[in-house]
Structure 1
Amino acid sequence: MARAGRRPGPTETREEILAAARRLFAEQGYDGATIRGIAAEAGVNAALLHHYFGTKQQLFVAAMNLPVNPAEELPRLLATPDEQTGERVVRLFLSVWGDARARAPFLALLRSIADNEQAATMIREFLTSAVLSRIAEDRSVPPLRAAAAAAQLVGLVMLRYVLEIPPLATATDDEIVALVAPAIQYYLSP
């Protein structure tokens, strides 16, 4: 049984927890990995994970080094009036992907899910439960429509930021929003 409280001595505990989380998320997927299992793998009490990271979703975001935490961004996105959802979603995507430092972890993640079925499963489970299902429920749309909106956005960022296809790569954010937001709005409107 893991000891309660902090370990004595230098505190590498946070990094050990993150390393354990990465291993278990990779081996068991997002749904399969548990806070208790990760705590046991790191040799700490589950309460310490909650102290450092809060929720399983926040631990996942930290372990994967994601520049955006859906637990923070989704409530802000979903608090907007329904008719502004498409524009807010597209602007959020463009702001995250437009920042080269924020883009780097996403690019690494895309590469890993393309080459590794375990990584793909982990990300699929996380996106489905932490993002897409919440958006679909909040906006009263079928999950297929939330997934279609995500597909449109992933295609956009692939062409704009990864492949850098002109004129998408050179268009202003406002031009992209004007073109893409209506489609996202359609997907996310009941």
Structure 2
Amino acid sequence: MTTADEPKRRGRRAGGADTKAVLLDAAREVFVERGYEGATVRSIAAKAGVDAAMVNHWYGSKENLFAQAVLKLPFDPVALVERLLDGPPELTGERIVRNFLGVWDANGGGPFAALVRSVTSHEGVATAMREFFLNSVFRKITEGLVADQAELRASLCASQVIGMGLTRYVVRFEPFASTDVETVVAAVGPNLQRYLTGDISP
């Protein structure tokens, strides 16, 4: 039994599931309050009342914590970027489309639709999501390809991929919504590749 004079216990809590749940709750609050870039592992841990090492212990990175706490993404963003950059640079556009559709099609597009609803209903979430996708996903891809105008290219890629998700999973334009993955890869991949490494000058 603890008393009011005893110091607050830090570090790992009695149950792993309890610690993870507390971290997720704290992360949602901090990310929404401060945005993705403004939130730090230390501030999230302080909000949860645990040591900062617990964030990395349970989630591995700030990116993965944000993906699970706020966006509820069914993938690890750090591993995804590594996977997308692993292969011929000239086929990166195809890999992005194939991976994106592979993840969301497997869930019937439901998580993507839920993500869109959360973004449109809360400006704080929208801001954090924008910073996350641009800086932790698409910007890392364009920088990994050593492309010029990395920030603009990242924005163009985001517009293509998010637009593709809206069309396929939210408004469900046919026949695009039910077209097989490889057909979409062949149609959209080259355009995405131009955003990544092609000439985008006027």
Cα shift at 1:62: 2.2
1:161 aligned residue: 169
Pair 1:120 & 2:126 matched:
yes
3-state SS, counterpart of residue 176 of structure 1: helix
| Amino acid in structure 2 at the alignment position of 1:78 | L
Distance 1:62 1:154 in 2: 18
3-state SS, counterpart of residue 68 of structure 1: coil
Contact in 1 for aligned 2:90/2:193 (Cα 8 Å): yes
| Amino acid in structure 2 at the alignment position of 1:77 | L
Cα separation, partners in 2 of 1:2 and 1:57, compared to 1, 3 Å = farther
Give 2:30's match in structure 1, choosing from 24, 29, 33.
24
Cα separation, partners in 2 of 1:146 and 1:9, compared to 1, 3 Å = closer
3-state SS, counterpart of residue 50 of structure 2: coil
| Amino acid in structure 1 at the alignment position of 2:90 | E
The alignment's TM-score, normalised by the length of structure 1, stands at: 0.90
Distance 2:178 2:23 in 1: 41
Cα separation, partners in 2 of 1:69 and 1:146, compared to 1, 3 Å = same
2:87 aligned residue: 80
Cα shift at 1:24: 0.8
Pair 1:70 & 2:61 matched:
no
Distance 2:165 2:38 in 1: 29
Cα separation, partners in 2 of 1:157 and 1:9, compared to 1, 3 Å = closer
Pair 1:48 & 2:48 matched:
no
User: Alpha-carbon deviations, 1:132-159, whole Å to 9, x = none?
Assistant: 2211211214221221122112222211
2:183 aligned residue: 175
Contact in 2 for aligned 1:136/1:145 (Cα 8 Å): yes
Q: Give the CA RMSD over aligned residues.
A: 1.9
The alignment's TM-score, normalised by the length of structure 2, stands at: 0.85
| Structure 1 unaligned spans of 5+ | none
The total of aligned residue pairs comes to 189
Distance 1:158 1:54 in 2: 30
| Amino acid in structure 2 at the alignment position of 1:87 | E
Cα separation, partners in 2 of 1:2 and 1:184, compared to 1, 3 Å = farther
| Structure 2 unaligned spans of 5+ | 1-6
Cα separation, partners in 2 of 1:161 and 1:8, compared to 1, 3 Å = closer
Give 1:110's match in structure 2, choosing from 89, 105, 116.
116
Cα shift at 1:174: 1.8
